[in-house]
A = this chain, B = another copy of it.
Amino acid sequence: MSRTARLPGGITTPKGYSAAGVAAGVKRSGRPDLAVVLSDREASAAGVFTTNLVKAAPVLLGIDAVRTRADRIRGILTVSGSANALTGPEGIADNRAILTAAESEFELPAGSLLPACTGVIGTRLPVDRVVRALPSLRGALAIGPEGGEPAAHAILTTDTRAKQVAVRVRLHDGTIVRVGGMAKGSGMIAPKMAPPHATTLAFLTTDARASPKALEGILAREVEGSFNMITVDGDMSTNDTVYLLANGAAGGEPADRDPAFAEAVGTVLGSLARQVARDGEGATKLLSVHVTGARTLREARAAARAVAGSMLVKAAVFGADPNVGRIAAALGYSGARLDPDRLDVLLERPRGAVPLIEHGRPSRGVENGAAIRLRDVLKQLEEVELTVRLHEGHAGATAWGCDLSYAYVQINAAYRT
C-alpha cells in the first residue's frame, strides 16, 4: 500500500515556498515567460541535467551551483522562450546578469538562485527585458495556488497545459511532509539525465529536511524510472533540468534515508513525467508501454522505450490502426533479448486486456474484420496502454510517449515563425 496521498496544487503546496510567473517580453506572443520559485529559508538542492554535449548556459551554471552551493539555495529563476544555448561565454554572462539582478530584487545572497531556460536554441537572452520585469515578478509572488499556478504556466513553451502535482507522506518519525512539483516539456523530449549532467524542465519542492547528497541520490534514482523513460521525439535537449529543493519547513528528522520520502519524490516525478508525455507536441493520446519478463532492468527499459519511441507505432496510435507488427519490429531492434515466437503483447482496457500478439503471432482479434472493432476501441482511448511480455526473465519497466500527429509536424516545421 502506498503511503503517499495526493494533495491539490504543486510547487507551492509544501510549506515555506512562494512563486510567481509574469510576461517579460521574451516570447513574442506576449505570454508569460518569467517564473520564480522561492523558499523562505535556505534549502538543500539537487539537480540532474541533460547529458547532451551541447549544454545550455543555464545548465552549465546550474551544474556549478548544485556542486558548490547545494546547502544554501533559495529558489529557481526560469526564462521560457529562449534556451540560451549555443550562446557561448556571452550566454553565461547574460544568465549570470539576470540571476544577480533577481537576487538583488528578492534580497537574497549572491548565488542562491538556480537558473533554467527553455525555448529556441541559438538566440541571446533579452537581459534588459527580463531585468525590467523583475519588480512585477516580485509583486506577483504568492504562496499557495495563487503563486504556483502562474509559475507553472510561465515555464511552458509549446505545451498546451500546465503540469503540476503535490503529495503528502508520513515519514518514519511521524512527521508529515509534502512534495510538490511542476514541469514543462512538449518537444525535444527524450531526456537522459544524470547527476550533474539531464528541454524538459521539472522543479520539485519539499518541506522535508534532507541533505543535498541524499537529495541527489534520491533524484538520480527516481528520475531513471520517470523522466528518463519518456520520449516524444527522440531528440535529447540541450536544456533538460530537474531540480529538487528541500527546505525542512515541516520539521522532524532528516528524511535522507526514509523510503517513504523517496517514494513520494518518485510519485511526483512519475506524475509529472506522464503529464509531459501526454502533452507531447501535437499529441492526442498518451502511450504507455509496460514491459515485463525482461532479462534485466536495462533491457526492460530499452524495450519499453523502443516501442514508445517508434515513429511507426506512434503514427499507428494516432490513426487508431492496430498494426501490431510495428510493435514487434520495435521490440526486435530494441536491444532486449527476446524469442519472437514467445512474445505476447496486450492492450490494457478498463474492462480487461485485449491480446494483440500471442506467442509471437497476431491475435485473431487484430486480423481482418476484428481489426475494425479494435480500431473503434483504440479511437475511444485517451491513453493507449500496452503490456509486453518477453518471457526471458523477471525485470520490468514502463515508458511513456504519445502519438505522432499532423500537429507535431505543423508545430515543428514552423516553430520559429
- Seen from chain A, the residues whose Cβ lies within 8 Å of a Cβ on chain B are 51-55, 83, 85-88, 120-123, 187-188, 190, 192, 233-238, 309-312, 315-316, 318-319, 321, 323-326, 328-333, 337-338, 340-341, 343, 357, 359-362, 366-367, 371, 404-406, 408-417
Contact = CB atoms under 8 A, between A and B. Distances in A.
A287 to B, nearest CB: 14
A228 to B, nearest CB: 13
B88 A325 contact: no
Contact of A319 (B332, B338, B414): B414
A85 B324 CA distance: 11
B412 A409 contact: no
B311 A52 contact: no
A122 B234 contact: no
A416 B321 contact: yes
A261 B245 CA distance: 64
A411 B315 CA distance: 9
A328 B85 CA distance: 9
B405 A235 contact: no
Given A53-B338, A332-B238, A417-B321, A412 B311 contact: yes
B333 A236 contact: yes
B235 A325 contact: no
Nearest to A332: B54
Contacts of A234: 234, 309-311
B311 A233 contact: yes
A359 B54 CA distance: 13
Nearest to A319: B413
A93 B412 CA distance: 46
A136 B412 CA distance: 48
Contacts of A319: 412-415, 417
Contacts of A123: 362, 367
Contacts of A54: 328-329, 331-332, 338, 340, 343
A247 to B, nearest CB: 34
Given A238-B332, A331-B54, A325 B413 contact: no
Q: Which 6 A-B pairs have the closest CB atoms?
A: A121-B325, A319-B413, A54-B332, A315-B412, A52-B332, A122-B362
A323 B237 CA distance: 14
Copies in the complex: 2
Given A86-B362, A361-B88, A340 B55 contact: yes
21 contacts: A53-B338, A54-B328, A55-B332, A83-B325, A86-B360, A88-B359, A88-B360, A122-B324, A233-B311, A233-B312, A235-B310, A235-B326, A235-B329, A316-B415, A318-B409, A319-B412, A319-B413, A319-B414, A319-B415, A321-B415, A404-B413
Contacts of A413: 315-316, 318-319, 321, 404
B233 A329 contact: no
Nearest to A89: B341
B329 A237 contact: yes
A184 to B, nearest CB: 17
Contact of A333 (B51, B311, B331, B404): B51
A197 to B, nearest CB: 12
Nearest to A343: B54
A330 B237 CA distance: 8
**Most chain B CB neighbours (cut-off 10 Å) among A86, A330, A371, A415:** A86
Given A54-B343, A55-B340, A371-B416, 15 more contacts: A53-B340, A55-B332, A86-B360, A88-B359, A121-B329, A123-B367, A192-B333, A236-B332, A238-B325, A238-B328, A311-B408, A312-B412, A315-B411, A323-B416, A406-B406
A325 B408 contact: no
**Most chain B CB neighbours (cut-off 10 Å) among A310, A323, A331, A338:** A323
Contacts of A321: 413-417
Contacts of A329: 52, 54, 85, 121, 188, 235-238
Nearest to A325: B121
